[in-house]
Structure 1
Amino acid sequence: MKTYHGSCHCGAVRFEADIDLSQGTLRCNCSICTKVRFWPAIVQPSAFRLVSGEADLTIYQFLTKRDKHLFCRHCGVRSFGIGSSPRWGEFYAVNVTCLDDVTAAELIDAPITYLDGRNDNWETPPDEVRHL
């Protein structure tokens, strides 16, 4: 477990998160994850701390409106999201590409689990993942 510091592109939104990247990251083929190239690590709410920028966040929700897709209203970067699922309960999905102090080696070594969100089949990976 390591405490990472992250931010959006303009720096208005800043956060800290306790993440064990060896436990893995996700890549999903659902419409929003594919379009924004979202690459999250899942953390429990107690492991996430918003340091600054709450007023600078905008929320986008669709379909069930269960998950909150947050982005900076200035630069548009999606640093993290908030969700709920049977697998993880309440969670934060931290975009690992927004971690300011993560190394390339840590990202390369982080295992990736592929999710078939496009077909609402969260237990089986999609047939094709090379584009994710």
Structure 2
Amino acid sequence: MKYLGSCHCGKVKFEAEGEIESGLACNCSMCQRKGSLLWFIPRTSMQLLTPEENSKPYLFNKHKIEHRFCPNCGIHPYAEAIAPDGTPKAAINLRCIEGIDLNAIPVHHYDGRAI
């Protein structure tokens, strides 16, 4: 299934394709503050609908995950990283996907502070 997502102002828009089986809630210093609910997919399953330069990167800790945010409205719609097996991944913020019922998605809690 294809999903549309965006930041609040619409300057950053994307499509993501796949089945949303669950979301991940991380308690690391970044995710806890921004309140994201993440869905991990291959980066090839996400297509930007706006220019990449419409979002800005933020790196912290080990600089392995490029958190992308809209410099206009401040929303973090997705992040990009390389999985341990070398596969490029996208971490989609499910809270930025249009028309889904977040209450129907099982949430797994991840202890990102322990890393």
TM-score by length of 1: 0.81
1:113 aligns with 2:112: no
Match of residue 90 from structure 1: 88
Return closer, same or farther for 1:50/1:64 CA change in 2, 3 Å cut-off.
Answer: same
Match of residue 76 from structure 1: 74
Contact kept in structure 2, 1:80 and 1:94, CA below 8 Å: yes
Larger radius of gyration: 1
Match of residue 34 from structure 1: 32
Identity of aligned residues (%): 30
TM-score by length of 2: 0.92
Contact kept in structure 2, 1:6 and 1:101, CA below 8 Å: no
Moved segments of 4+, more than 6 Å? none
Task: Tell me the SS of whatever aligns to 1:100.
Answer: coil
- Structure 2 gaps of 5+ residues are none
Aligned residues: 115
C-alpha deviation, 1:88, in angstroms: 8.5
- Structure 1 gaps of 5+ residues are 121-132
Please say which of residues 67-76 and 82-91 is displaced more in the overlay: 82-91
CA RMSD of aligned residues (A): 1.6
